[in-house]
Every structure is written in C-alpha cells, then in structure tokens.
C-alpha cells in the first residue's frame, strides 16, 4: 500500500489543531492533513451555548464528549471522578463554558524563568492579540480582526450577576471591568467566545468555509490514530483507521494536538514515554522519556450553593414549556437564555495577603445544580459560586490502561495530594461563604445549601470538600515544555529525543495558568505556527528539500 504524503499531519482538531491547520495551510506550498477522532461540529448542542447541558452530563452519553473517568482518588473519598473532554471539530472548545480568560501575566513570566526564552508575558501577549477579534476594540491588551471573536455581551444577563459583584466589593474585594486588561484581580463580568448568540469555538474561528476550501488542506473526521510511525528515531507519519480500514499517511512533520490526555497517550502508544511502563504494555521503546504523562495538573472545583428566596434563577428552566420557549428563541433569533454562557460573572481573588497574583477563581452561576457527573440541576431555585485554586501543587499522571488505542487512558490527577492545596481551597470555600453572607445577597439568600449551616469547623468543611469536589476541566502539563533533560518538548514544542515530531496543545504547559485554558492553548498554537512557518521559509531560502 502506498502511503499518502503530506508536509504536516496534525492529529487532533481541538483548540490548538484548528489554529495550526489554518496557519500552516495559509502557505499554498504546504500540504496539510488535519485528523479528528470525533465528528463534525455543525450540530445544535454544540452551536447553541446552552446546549452544553446536553453534552457534558455523563448520563447523556453524548457522542461529542469522550466521557472519561479518573481512577479512584485517595484524597477525594476514593471516588472515580468524571472528566468531560470534547470529541468533535473544535475539541473541548466545542463543549466548554465559553469563558475567555488568558490568566495572569506572572503565569507566563514563570514559564520564562524556567529558561523558556520567548514565553514570557511580553512575548505571548502579541499572540493573544493576534488571535482575537474583540468587541472591546483594539488597544494594548486586545486585538481586532483576528479569527477568534470575543464578546462582552456573551454573558447571561441576570440580576444576580450584579448582586454577586456587589457582594464581592462588600467583602473587601475590588471590581474590575476587564479580566484580560490591566486589572486581573477583582470581580466582574467574563468575556465570552460567543458571536451573534452562537458558540464561537476554535473550529468556528479557524476552520471557516474559506479555510476548509483550501486545496492544500484536508480535514478528516471520525478517524482514529493508532500510533506515530518512525524510521529509526525520525517520525515518518501516522498509522490510523477509518471506516474499518487500516491506513498510513506520511509527513515531513507530525504534530500532536490531542490535549493533555490524548497527546501523552499517543506518544506512549508510539513508543515514547517511561520505558518500564511501555515495556509492561508490550510496546517497543523508541525513546525513554520518563516525564511523558507526568506533571498532570487540573483545577479542582468546589461549588458553594444557596437556595434562593425568589423564583428568578435558571432552575425555572427545568420545565418543558420553558425549555421549548428558550429553544425557539435561539433557533429563530439566536436570542434568549440559550444564547449566553451560563457562567456570566466571576472573580479572581487572593486567599491571603502578600500574594503576587490571585490564587482563587470564582465562576458565579444564577442556578443551583450538582457537580459534574452527578445529575441535573436542582428542581428548587438557587445560585452557586464555583471556587477553584488557580495554581495547585498536586501532580498526577496519565498512563496507558492497555495497549489498545481505542481504550481510554488511566487518569490519576491525585487531587489534594499536596497539603497546600487543601489549605488554599479551604480558604477559598470560606471566602465564597463570606461573599454569600454580604448584604447584597440578603434579599435572595434563603439558606446555604452547600456546605450547609451545619458545617462550621475546618475539619468538617475539608471532609465535605473531599466528598463534593469535581474537575472544572482544565487539565494541562503532561507533555511538559522545558530546557532540562527530562522535559518532553523543547521551547519550540519539538519532542525531545526524536525528530520530525511536535506536541502543540495544553499538555506542553509546564505550569497551569491562572484561569480557563482555552485562550492560552490557542495562543500556544499561534506562537508555534509562527515558529514552524518561519523555519519553512528559511528552508526554502536555503534550498533545503522538503
């Protein structure tokens, strides 16, 4: 069988893969193949912002969600915990909460301090601006004319948004008008990746009809990649299966963009990873890279909930007639509750004095529901604050459960294994409870539903946290970028120890950023696409054969 030949093979059409496909295929002299294991994204549950409630809960068995589960977590009541991840064009940007956040400038300066020259805040800000088409207009912090539309009107309008922000100020915290501007700390309204009432995923932004029509770009969905192929220590392409056929594609460069779970899994299936683990799986070792699948970091989510005295929250949308009205408004006019993201307001706050940057994030929602993986919203009216620690110390792993490429990986985030995380999250829960007791909420607060009025001591609160917490789905770090000998990829995201192979996605982050991870992942892909395009131009000038 003669293999197809490409310049670039991109595995994974998520936030990073869509960017890479767009930017690399902009060169008409480069042939680009984009592979996605999931399907198309032109379906109502993805395009309608409120449709995520039909995708994320595990009981929906949505074809657009991988529906992963962790191994039982020793510090979380020995519970297996639900990890939704996107399975369609756009990846997790097609099922996320649509919050547009970059993180704090110190996050990227911390990367640069590791020796990663070119990854400091001053270096990455131009790529955030390049990607963005902001409704705020162009300024020092925002860009216009980029592929990714960011909206100041995507947040769900609700009276409780301003109540929450006012309560934060009453609790002693500042107000901010732009989390991605000069003032990160404080409470305010989130920007959203929503345009004209529809989700604006990475696929919507970067894989426009004009881009899809490029003759040098091919996009294939519902394709399972089994492994990267090698000749000695050089990547030559991929082995994959489509509609029951086993196929091979060759490329001058293979780029993995499968995210913090998919990319390390595929590296290990291809023989790059901890040697002893690969041998135990019966996989021939191409390169012993012990940190592949290590350094797993995630934001653990605690939901502080209140019952509401007034029937004004989104819990009223549980009635069939209300759902049909909301659906009709969106289908025929892209308006109504279904046209907005459900986490409209939030805050970035310090857990204690003396911090360089806030270490807590709150997502406020005018609705009361169960944590991820535990069923639907409450039948009674309420509201909640999602609290997460921004820079956790706990580190976990992704490993192969079996050598079968179709099997889900073994995910062990080791939540709360670091004592510092327990203390910081406890402080975060207590700060959220303090915000909930402020005068602004007095007309609306009926009772605290979680942790509840009976939970008063530190020990009881921490015990409740271990039984209640879930992911807010921001996993990163499993193909860590660095300059040390154990780093999985270098500062250009090239896989160390082999040639012709890169990883470009959230897995390369050495440290988790202070906020949602979609915007930073897009930035990483924009920056690396520039690196690749620059190298290609240089090769042509020097007359180096493809």
What lies within 8 Å, CB to CB, of 206 at 6+ separation is 18, 19, 21, 22, 147, 148
Rg (Cα) of the chain, in Å, rounded? 23
Distance CA 432, CA 304 (A): 7
Q: By the 8 A CB rule, do 244 and 491 touch?
A: no
Choice among 142, 287, 340, 474 that is catalytic: 474
Rounded to an integer, what distance in angstroms lies between the CA atom of residue 472 and that of residue 97? 10
The residues that bridge with 198 in the sheet, in sequence order, are: 195
Q: How far apart are CA 88 and CA 107, in angstroms?
A: 29
In degrees and rounded to multiples of 5, residue 445 shows phi and psi of: -80, 110
Return the residue matching tokens 């609790």.
171
Q: Crossing angle for the helix pair 121-131 and 105-113, nearest 10 degrees?
A: 130
Q: Is 474 a catalytic residue?
A: yes
Token representation of residue 339: 């046209």
Q: DSSP string spanning 210-269? A: HHHT-TTEEEE-S-EEEEEEEETTEEEEEEEEETTEEEEEEEEEEEE--HHHHHHHHHHH
Structural element, H or E, at residue 149? strand 148-150
SS3 label, residue 7 = strand
Query: For the chain, what is the total number of helices (H) and then of strands (E)?
Result: 13, 26
CB 190 within 8 A of CB 97: no
Beta carbons of 96 and 516 less than 8 angstroms apart: yes
Are 227 and 270 in contact by the 8 Å Cβ rule? The answer is yes
The DSSP secondary-structure symbol of 270 reads T
CA atoms 147, 152, 155, 156: torsion sign: negative
Contact 86, 14 (CB under 8 A): yes
- How far CA 516 is from CA of 180, 190, 389, 478, 490, in Å, comes to 12, 11, 12, 17, 24
Q: How many CB atoms lie within 10 A of CB 323?
A: 15
Asked if 114 contacts 483 with a C-beta cutoff of 8 angstroms, the reply is yes
DSSP assigned state of 317:
G
List the catalytic residues: 474
């Amino acid at each position: 069988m003669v293999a197809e030949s490409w310049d670039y093979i991109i595995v994974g059409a998520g936030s990073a893969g869509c960017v890479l496909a767009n930017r690399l295929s902009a060169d008409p002299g480069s042939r680009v193949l984009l592979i996605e294991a999931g399907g198309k994204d032109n379906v109502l549950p993805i395009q309608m912002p409120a449709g995520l409630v039909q995708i994320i809960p595990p009981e929906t068995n949505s074809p657009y969600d991988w529906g992963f589960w962790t191994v039982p977590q020793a510090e979380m009541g020995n519970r297996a915990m639900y990890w939704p991840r996107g399975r369609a064009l756009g990846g997790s940007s097609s099922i996320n909460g649509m919050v547009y956040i970059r993180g704090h400038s110190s996050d990227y300066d911390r990367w640069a301090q590791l020796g990663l020259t070119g990854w400091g805040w001053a270096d990455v800000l131009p790529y955030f601006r390049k990607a963005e088409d902001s409704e705020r207009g162009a300024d020092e912090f925002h860009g216009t004319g980029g592929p990714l539309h960011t909206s100041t009107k995507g947040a769900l309008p609700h009276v409780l948004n301003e109540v929450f922000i006012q309560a934060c100020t009453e609790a002693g915290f500042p107000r901010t008008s732009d989390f991605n501007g000069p003032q990160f700390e404080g409470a305010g309204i989130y920007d959203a990746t929503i345009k004209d009432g529809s989700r604006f995923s990475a696929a919507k932004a970067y894989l426009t009809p004009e881009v899809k029509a490029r003759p040098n770009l091919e996009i294939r969905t519902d394709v399972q990649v089994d492994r990267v192929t090698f000749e000695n220590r050089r990547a030559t392409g991929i082995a994959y299966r489509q509609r029951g056929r086993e196929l091979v594609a060759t490329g001058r460069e293979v780029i993995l963009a499968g995210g913090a779970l998919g990319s390390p899994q595929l590296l290990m299936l291809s023989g790059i990873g901890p040697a002893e683990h690969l041998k135990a799986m019966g996989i021939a070792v191409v390169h012993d890279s012990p940190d592949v699948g290590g350094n797993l970091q995630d934001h653990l989510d605690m939901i502080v909930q209140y019952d509401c005295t007034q029937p004004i929250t989104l819990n009223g949308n549980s009635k069939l007639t209300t759902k049909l009205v909301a659906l009709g408004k969106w289908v025929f006019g892209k308006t109504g509750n279904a046209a907005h993201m459900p986490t409209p307001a939030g805050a970035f706050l310090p857990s204690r004095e003396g911090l360089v940057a806030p270490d807590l994030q709150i997502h406020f929602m005018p609705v009361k529901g169960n944590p991820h993986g535990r069923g639907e919203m409450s039948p009674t009216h309420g509201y909640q604050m999602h609290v997460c620690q921004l820079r956790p110390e706990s580190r976990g792993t992704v490993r192969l459960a079996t050598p079968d490429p179709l099997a889900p990986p073994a995910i062990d985030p080791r939540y709360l294994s670091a004592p510092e995380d327990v203390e910081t999250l406890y402080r975060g829960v207590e700060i959220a409870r303090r915000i909930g007791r402020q005068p602004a909420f007095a007309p609306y607060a009926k009772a605290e539903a979680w942790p509840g009025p009976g939970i008063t001591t530190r020990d009881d609160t921490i015990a409740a946290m271990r039984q209640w917490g879930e992911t807010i789905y921001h996993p990163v770090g499993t193909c860590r970028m660095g300059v040390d000998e154990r780093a999985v990829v270098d500062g250009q995201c090239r896989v160390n120890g082999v040639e012709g192979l890169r990883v470009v996605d959230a897995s390369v982050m050495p440290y988790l950023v202070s906020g949602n991870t979609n915007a930073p992942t897009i930035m990483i892909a924009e920056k690396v696409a520039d690196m690749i395009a620059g190298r290609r131009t240089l090769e042509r000038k020097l007359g180096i054969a493809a």
